[in-house]
Structure formats: C-alpha cells, structure tokens
Structure 1
C-alpha cells in the first residue's frame, strides 16, 4: 500500500487583534482565555482581566497571544519591582501580589492531586474535599536567592552580555540588577561587565556561578571563618593568562570576593595562588549545625525557607529519642543532621557516592555519631540491602528530585513505616507518588506549600502520611 507523506505545517501566526476575558491561570502561571472554541494562552494576563491581545501562534487545539493592553486590571495585579520583568525569563509572576501567588500555587497542587487520584481511582470525588492544608512556609519575596548561574555571551566584537535567558530563547537579557538575589549578589552585574571588558583574552568565559555562603580560609599561619561571603565560580573555556589572573585577583580583593576558576576538568581557587587553601563553603542550619558543600553541589537556595522547612518536618514527624529514622535522597544531610539531634539513629541513603561521603563528613564534623549513610539507586529494589534490613524504622523522610520517587514508594509501603514525610519540588510527581501510598493504606494527614521560589511559578510541597 502506498504511503503518502505531508510536509510539516508550521503554526500560523495571524497577528489578529482581539479582546478577551481571562478565565484562569494554567499550571505555568499563563493566563487562559477562550476564542473560537479553543484556549488562548496569554503570558502576563491574570484571571478576570479584560485584555487586548495579538494572536502570534495558532494550532488546531489552541492559540498563543501577546498581551497588548489591559482594560480591566485584576485586583491582585501589582507593579513588578524588577526593571527587567517581561524580558528576563525568570520571576514570571511579579505582577501577581504575594497572597494571590500563594493561592495559585496551592490551587495548582490541589488540581494535580485531584486529577491523579481520580485517574488511579484512589479517592473518589477528591475535588469535593479540601486537602488538609496547613499554612504556607514563606520568606521575604525579595532578596532570598543565595545561588544563581549568570550567563555570559559575546558578540562578534567580543563585547559581553551578562545576565539570564530571555523568555523562550537562548539569548541573554542584559541584567543590571536582580532583586530576588541576596543583597551582595544583586549588585554584582555591572562589576562583572566592567571586569570582562578589561580582560586581555576575550570570549573565554562560559558562565559565572554566584554563591552567598559562609567560608573557612586556611593559610600557613591561621584558620579563619567569614560569614556571608560572595563566591564566584568562573567557567573558563580557555587557559587564563597572568594578566587576567591578576585582574580577577584585583577585583576579588577590592570587593571581597572569593574566585574559583573552573576549566572543565578541575576547579582551582585564586586564593591557592597566594598560598591560601581553597575556601571551604558552608551554610548554617536552624539548629546551628553546619552543612559543608562544594560549589557544584545542590543546596536549597532560600536559606530562610530551608530552615523553616526543616523545623516543620521535625514537628510534623514528632521525632522521639527512641526513633530510628530513614532519610531517603538525603543529599548532603540537610535533613539528616537535624533528625539526628532528636532521634536514636538516622540512616541516610543517596544515589551518588560523592554525596554520601560529604553527608558522612558533615555528620562527623558536627559531632553526630548516630548517623550512617549509604549509596543506593533508590529506583532499584533495595529492600534486601543490609541497611534496609538492619533495623525497624519508625519514620521516613524523603526529598527526591523532580522525577519523584515512584519506584521507592512501593518499597517504602512494604516496610509499613507508621509516618512518612515527603518533601517535593514537583507537584505532578508528588501527586502520582501520593496516590501510590494512599492506595497502600496510608492517610494524607497534613500538607503545605513552601514558597522556596517567590515570584515564580515553581512550588515546593510537604506532605505527611500516616498508616
């Protein structure tokens, strides 16, 4: 039989202007209206607003439009504080007041739970019930982010653009300041632009990671700790010559930076060229324990929310001195150390051996001898591993990546642990995994959102399950 192929048809952009009323926000915080019996997605529009838009993309089942003007602004609309709002691809909810942002995020989680539980026939009519919501964990909506990657792009004349990606493109928006970064990082962009213009070797930098952390410096004479320091990790695409090394050292000394050069194979602190060891980075937990980390390690970027999250996890789990606690996807020990301070023992499990080694070091450095850490692929069958069989666990905490913990859920359920606390950075995988636990006889006892990323669509959630 002959096969006939049609050339792919690109979406049509009609440039047609129309006036519509926005019904709601989608899961990404984009306004949704109706036109010609299909949804129209309008970035920047808010529910109940009457807006004029221009159609920029049409497909069979939906269209996309550019917001032109607002005739009837929402009561929740506020003036964005960032001068780069609308061009920079981050912080896309700045026009929404904070109370409305939190309501949107909580509704988003509720809708995903309703869909997932209904699809799996776990709970009927979940939409008619209220999830057992508790107050949201939040911090200041500005100047909260302590780590970010700043992009660097060079034009044909080797002039640098420094900033973050524009919306829906790989091009950078030239950033002068970023009000979600903590204060010392917020003002760093003009300084970096000036420095890069003075380099003798042009177009040699891929990106610059900025980190706000406590550091420990050691030289031949003494050891000192400095709090709230600016650390820069410079991804160098070509070998840095002496002149440029001297330039970075001069700026670092003037502005009290700690600069680490990353050539792709290894990282070397500029301090090491002056006889000072590479700085040791750390941050403090709510119980005054210290988490030590390397510049490339994952850390929670909102210090205030992280500590409030740990405090709530301990309270919800009601950790007792007789408890043995299992901490899955434990990372550097962000939760493990706080658990160890209250529990009889903690077993932390992580998929990457390097992280296991660092968690072990963090526990030892902070004086905890009731923590053991193990490497394990938690998407494998781990119930027969020695660490899983060695004792009966009273409680479990898990904090997986965005992919969630679908395979681990089935095995956790088999252990019949009385209390399970799930910390999630993706509500879709959380809803899926929660449905598994509920189908195995667990009750969803408490739930709250954690506003780790204010001004953005991203939402983190904490859920407590009990048998």
Structure 2
C-alpha cells in the first residue's frame, strides 16, 4: 500500500530522506521467535529480516519506533557459519518461507529453543525447562513436501495475471515461477497457469486457485485437484479452456463461483471428466486406513510427517486392548481410526458437524466399528455431555492454533493418567502446558514435528503423565 505524506517544510523532507538512505553496520545477536535477526543499535533492538546470529550486516533503517527499529538487510559483511544459499529463487521476496538461508540442523535447533522460550514465558520454571525430555524430532524431506496450497491471483492494470504467494509483510503477490516446497506435481504449475489465464476472455475473474495433491482422485493416482475461486461467472469459452488444460495435465478442476462482492460459496461446477465431490479425495494411513476428504477440509499438508506423527503418537500412548481413548479436536479421524484398531473404544469429538459426519463416514468405509464421533464446542463446558461419561484411560488432543485452554482445564478433572498433546502453535502449547503442570501432571516426553520445513512454524508433541 502506498503512503502519502504532506510536504510541509523542506526540513521535514530532508529528515525523511536521510532516514531512508543512510546505511549502518550492526552485529546480529540472535533470532527472534519469527526467525528474524536481532541486534542492537542506538540502545534499541534492531530487527533485520534475513540476517543470522553472529553476522555483521550492512542495513538501512526503514522504521523507527520508541522501543525498537526495523531495518532492511543490504549486505552480509561477515556471514554465519550456518548460512547457506536459499534454494528458491523467490526466497528474498516471498512470504512463504522464513529460514531457507539457515542450515537445516540449525533450523531444528531454532525451533526447539523457540518452544523452550515460550514455555519459560508462560511461567514454567527454568529448572524444569532445562530438564525437558526432548526426543528425536520427526522430520522428512526438506523439499517438495507440501501437498495443499492456496495460490493467489491478482491482475495488473493491463489485465495481466500475477500468480503466486504474498510478499513478506504485504498483501501484494510475488510472481512465482516454481516453488520447491510444493510436491513435485504442483511445484511447476505456476507457469502453466499463467499461460492459461492469459487466454481467458473474462479477465480478473479469479480470486485464488487452491492446489491439492491427494493419494487418490477419482481413482487416479498422483493427480492434482485445482479449486478455482471465481468472483465472476465463468463463460462457455473459459470453461472449455479449463477443460482442455485439465485433460492435458490430468487435473481435476472445480469452480467455486460467487457473485461479485460476495464471499458466500456458490454453485459448484466441474470441468474434469467426472464430478468432484466428497469421497473422491483421500490419503492413506498405515494399516490400510483411507481418510476421505473434500477440498474445504483441513488435512495435514505433509503426508510423510503425518504418517510418522501418527506412529509416534501410538508409540507414546502405548494403547492397550482394554483402553478407552478420548480424541479431542479429532477432525476427519486422522488419529482416531489408527487408535481404534488397537483399543476397545475411541470417542472422537470435533467442533464442526460436517467434520464429525465425515469422520463417521471414514470409520464406516474402513469397517471400524469401535469409534464414536460427536460434535461439541470444546472451548465451552462439556463435562456434562453424555460422551464425557465414559471411563477414559487416555486422552489425545490435536487443537488448532488457538489451543485447548478450556479443554485441558476439563480434561484434568477426568482424572486420566495419560494425556498426549499435539500442538501446531507453541504459544498456546506453552499456556496449556502450564495449566496441566499446575494440575499435577509432568512432561515425560516432548519432541518437535517438522511439518513445515524452511519456515518458522513449529509443531510439537508432548506426553503428560499425572
């Protein structure tokens, strides 16, 4: 977004000019929680995106605040021994990745320190944090792991499409040629889409394109599903064009049409050979379990890490035939169904009814009959619910980024000895961990789950025992 300043005096203009053109040299001391380098300048912390600890860097100040300074990295005069060349040509602009310039082993160390620091900020003692029983992290390939992504589409004044991801700290798009974190069928789709969109007759008709790589799509392996958000109704010519590209590249394409100015989901039309509907997208877990989903459902975007995460959850929980397990924030049954094959009973609870319905369907399709699924707002009082009256022996929680504050408060009242918490946000994990520790639980295992390599995002698994 452009900023316009009123030109009052020559003195003011010169002051602004000096601020934006002067260069300085600073030494970077550490990374903040977002992976941004932090040093000291004029007795204030200075944040320099793209810098690493121990580096001497040349910077230009771009914004001064009362308590800190923001600066742009111009040059690395003395590089860290852990600095590597970013693999993606768009890394300096694209906001998708944060850490491609940092050696992978150091990325994992940064994430572990991030979790520890947030636990400390929540009020957990330094003695306990220093003694955390860290386990070997779950990791997979550093590249070509992301199987679901939303690709932005913007149009310039000449109606030329810009296709890619948001720039760092802006809503503007970076025009992407290739993305090395997307699974290989999707990594090079940007140039194909650019050629296709240039041929459309209804310009500026697309809001975004979601790309999904599933194990099975319409009985075809390694296929891509494209969900095209139409902000204007598609015409016959453009529909036929999408059809041709879908056939050429083995895509399944679905349109989500809405009237201009509305965000509601409109009628769905399909350009591929068969209609896309729930049940035609799936991914496979161990023990021949298939999880079916639709394009709007949440799934774990890193399939190999998801498989390893489930295996570790089973290993840490040590499910026994007589166990009854409560799976909170169960989603489509990603943990519930593998657990059900090893215990007497699993009760899965999710806040969204459509997800509950699909979890029930997944259990039926996989012929698993000892799983029950219920809808409930887990951020409200639910202890009086009928499903909460079971004699649970173990609990698994896999909440969204908001965490499970109300849920862990109530779980602690069920007097269950073993709680496994799978977190996608270390800030809320720290808050919820403090609650459980204060309720008499202890951390017996903790480990990173590197679901999002090359980024600042951290997933963590923690095993609590009363």
TM band (smaller chain): over 0.9
Task: Report the secondary structure of 2:215's partner residue.
Answer: strand
| 1:430 alignment counterpart | 429
* Counterpart residue number, 1:220: none
Residue 420 to residue 277, structure 1, CA distance change in 2 (3 Å): closer
Q: What residue in structure 1 maps to residue 398 of structure 2?
A: 399
Q: Which residue of 1 aligns with 2:9?
A: none
Q: Secondary structure at the match of 1:435?
A: helix
Give the CA deviation at 1:277.
6.1
The superposition leaves residues 354-378 of structure 1 with CA deviations (integer Å, 9 ceiling, x where unpaired) of 1100000001100100000000000
Alignment partner, residue 418 of structure 2:
419
2:19 maps to what in 1?
14
Distance in 2 between residues matched to 1:276 and 1:97, nearest whole Å: 44
Q: Helix, strand or coil: the match of 2:123?
A: helix
Three-state SS of the structure 2 residue aligned to 1:331 is coil
CA apart distance, 1:63: 0.1
Report SS of the residue matched to 2:325.
strand
TM-score normalised by the chain length of structure 2: 0.93
CA distance in structure 2 between the aligned counterparts of 1:98 and 1:268, rounded to whole angstroms: 43
Moved more, 235-244 or 184-193: 235-244
- Matching of residues 229-248 of structure 1 within 5 Å: 229-248=223-242
Q: Is contact 2:209-2:226 (8 Å) kept?
A: yes
Aligned positions, number? 443
CA distance in 1, matches of 2:274, 2:126: 66
Give the CA deviation at 1:216: 4.8
**1:445–1:466: 8 Å Cα contact kept in structure 2?**
yes
Aligned to 1:249: 243
CA contact (8 A) 1:150 1:163 kept: yes
Extract unaligned runs of 5+ from structure 1: 1-10, 218-224
Q: Does 1:444 align with 2:443?
A: yes
Q: Give the superposition deviation at 1:60.
A: 1.0
* CA shift digits 1:286-343 (9 cap, x unpaired): 3321110000111000001000000000000001111000000000111011111111
Note if 1:226 corresponds to 2:220.
yes
Alpha-carbon distance in 2 for matches of 1:332, 1:309 = 16
1:117, distance to aligned residue in structure 2 (A): 2.5
Query: How big is each residue's C-alpha offset from its partner over 1:133-186, in whole Å with a ceiling of 9 and x where there is no partner?
Result: 001100100000000000000112211000001111111100000000000000
1:295 aligns with 2:295: yes
Give the deviation of 1:125 after TM superposition: 3.8
Tell me the equivalent position of 1:463.
462
Q: Indicate the residue corresponding to 1:408 in structure 2.
A: 407
Backbone CA RMSD of aligned residues: 1.6
1:174-253 superposed matches below 5 A:
174-217=175-218, 225-253=219-247
1:124 deviates by 5.9
Separation in 2 of the partners of 1:366 and 1:394?
A: 24
Query: Offset at 1:433?
Result: 0.2
Question: Partner of 2:379 in structure 1?
Answer: 379
Conserved in 1, the CA contact under 8 Å of 2:254 and 2:276?
Answer: no
What's the CA shift for 1:453?
Answer: 0.4
In structure 2, do the counterparts of structure 1 residues 148 and 277 end up closer, same or farther at CA, with 3 Å as the change threshold? closer
Moved over 6 A (4+): none
TM-score by length of 1: 0.92
Pairing 1:236-315 to 2, within 5 Å after superposition: 236-263=230-257, 264-271=265-272, 278=277, 280-315=280-315
Structure 1 residue 130: Cα displacement: 2.6
